[in-house]
Amino acid sequence: MQFKEPLWTSAELSAVCGGIIAQPWFADGLQADSRDVLPGDIYVALIGDGTDGHMYVADAFERGAIAAIISHTVEGVAWADPRLIHVADTAMTLQRMAAHARERAPVKSIAVTGTAGKTSVVHALSQCLAPVDVTHMSASSLRGKYSVLLSLARLPRQSRYSVFKVGVHGQEAVKVGGQLVRPDVAVVTVVGPSHTESFPDEDAIAAEKASLIQTLKPSGIAIIGIDHDHGGHLKKVASDMGVSVVTVSVLGDADVKPLRMTEHNDCTCLTADIGGTVVTYKISQPGREWVLNSLLVLAAVKAVDGDLGQAAVALASLDAVPGRGRTHKLNLSLGQATLIDDSFNANPLGVKAALRRLALSPVVKSRKRVAVLSDMAELGLRSQEMHLSLVNDLRRSNVSKVIAFGDQMASLGEIAGIATERWTSPLKSAERLMAELQPGDAVMVKGANHMRLGGLVNEMLKISKNETEFDGARARTVLSK
């Protein structure tokens, strides 16, 4: 989308941060990772856990950054370089930019949190609202304590809707993120075991998620998925705050719920009650998790006075976010197999959803379903318990084989009574995995981010593309004879 007005001007940034900028400029982007810089972007050198963005200022300039916000000297760039913006604290400057950007844009803001489904709901909301008016959303790649600040500071002044993911990266992170966004609508997708390394129990996780509701504007609306054990607590928090509450359920009675539903292996068709408005629509993604996602999305669209009809149309053609359930066809030498890329991180709820998705994937008779799983992270002392809690889900998924990266997933597969192989290096396993697949197979990849299963998926897709090119060259050779 092209905008008539820049994201930031030198004069505006100078007024926000109180600094003197040596030369005038206009910028359309803001980056905190020099590798993402495009010509004309601003680069902000943030200091994080074990890294200092000041080390990459020179690289940002080489990539075309028009200015860089710094708080101390940088290697390879003169202190008097007119492109440098000197401030006392780059993180505080980013916070001021975020607050300014939030106030200058007349937006209705939606903040989304939950143990699972956050990114998918944010992505779907953006796709549903964008056809109606200018919509800004959190970038899927942003994580950590600066993610909300960066998303806000990137908010275009022309925006009418904004959608932010507010995740957990430590205690009170959700509350802090919500206070920055000041949402008109707060969405809590689901609450379950995750980050148990940082929280004493699931009640503490629920309290962390509920803190987003406490950051709503006085006239705000809380949209709460209630298909879990903590729905009552979330509703009480909202009631105590005096904000409007919209409950959402796939399984029981709620303000937003399905009336009729037909599930297929590649989509779900349903008629739903969206707070008194009946909507019939199709979701282009299969599985009950996407039914819940779609209901949360439509509830949020209605809450910001969006177009429910347009949203229903968008859901019918929605593609999953890479790493979060996107389906690919893998080209093999004699046919195709199905790849479900759910490689972006994992917690127990997410693994259960991925296994259900794999179970829905059709396979040719006598072919197999393969689950590629790595150990889940950030579960602390409950890690073994959380892994073994998935035994029945794995058994029900009709999986023929488990390929495990990590001892705990290997133990899970073995206890479930499923043929299990322990592999060691995801990035070096793509060729081996592709060689084991046969036409008609389905394979699902799911695991913690630090195991880099996304790299395995990318390598598999490269091999698949090369196979396509080889087949094309072979076909052209045959035709030329």
Q: Where in the chain is the domain with CATH 3.40.1390.10?
A: 8-95
Residue 474 pLDDT: 42
The segment(s) of the chain belonging to CATH 3.40.1190.10 are: 105-316
**CA 399 to chain CA mean position, Å:** 26
CA distance 342 to 351: 9
Judged by DSSP in three states, 397 sits in coil
> Rounded to an integer, what distance in angstroms lies between the CA atom of residue 379 and that of residue 387?
9
300-326 b/e with 16+ CB inside 10 Å = b?
A: bbbbbebbbeebbebbeebebbebbbb
Task: With beta carbons less than 8 A apart as the criterion, state whether 159 and 132 touch.
Answer: no
Start-end ranges of CATH 3.90.190.20 in the chain?
A: 326-472
Q: Which residues pair with 37 in a beta bridge?
A: none
The answer to whether the beta carbons of residues 128 and 295 sit under 8 Å apart is no
Q: In this predicted structure, what is the pLDDT of residue 480?
A: 42
pTM of the complete model: 0.86
Secondary element (H or E) of residue 14: helix 10-17
Please list, in sequence order, all residues whose beta carbon lies within 8 angstroms of the beta carbon of residue 237, skipping any fewer than 6 positions away: 210, 213, 214
107: DSSP letter: P
SS3 content of the chain, % helix, strand, coil (to 5): 40, 20, 40
- Residue 167: CB atoms within 10 A of its CB come to 19
Q: At what angle do helices 90-104 and 173-181 cross, to 10 degrees?
A: 50
Separation CA 403–CA 157 (nearest Å): 48
Token pair of 426 as six digits: 């995801």
Phi first, then psi: give them for residue 233, nearest 5 degrees: -65, -45
* Among the listed residues 125, 90, 138, the one whose alpha carbon sits nearest the alpha carbon of residue 298: 125
Give pLDDT, residue 197: 67
Q: Given this model, what pLDDT does residue 198 score?
A: 66
The residue type found at 454 is: G
Max CA-CA distance within the chain?
Answer: 78
Q: How far apart are CA 370 and CA 354, in angstroms?
A: 12
pLDDT at 463: 94
Q: What tens-digit pLDDT sequence spans the chain (481 residues)?
A: 455 689 999 999 999 988 778 889 999 999 999 999 999 999 999 998 778 999 999 999 999 999 999 999 999 999 999 999 999 999 999 999 999 999 999 899 999 999 888 989 999 999 999 999 999 998 765 556 788 999 999 999 999 999 999 987 666 788 999 999 999 999 999 998 776 666 778 888 899 999 999 999 999 999 999 999 999 999 999 999 999 999 999 998 999 999 999 988 889 999 999 999 999 999 998 888 899 999 999 999 999 999 999 999 999 998 888 888 899 999 998 899 999 999 988 889 899 999 999 998 888 877 899 999 999 988 888 899 999 999 999 999 999 999 999 999 999 999 999 999 999 999 899 999 999 999 999 999 999 888 889 999 999 999 998 876 545 444 444 334 4
CATH for 8-95, among 3.20.20.70, 1.10.3720.10, 3.40.1390.10, 3.30.930.10? Answer: 3.40.1390.10
Whether 453 contacts 313, CB under 8 Å: no
Amino acid at 7: L
Answer whether 115's CB lies under 8 Å from 192's CB.
yes
CB contact at 8 A, 166 and 113: yes
282 and 263 Cβ atoms separated by less than 8 Å: no
Residue 334: the pLDDT is 86
User: Hey, what CATH class is 326-472 in?
Assistant: alpha beta
CATH architecture of 105-316: 3-Layer(aba) Sandwich (3.40)
Other CB atoms within 10 Å distance of the CB of residue 295: 26
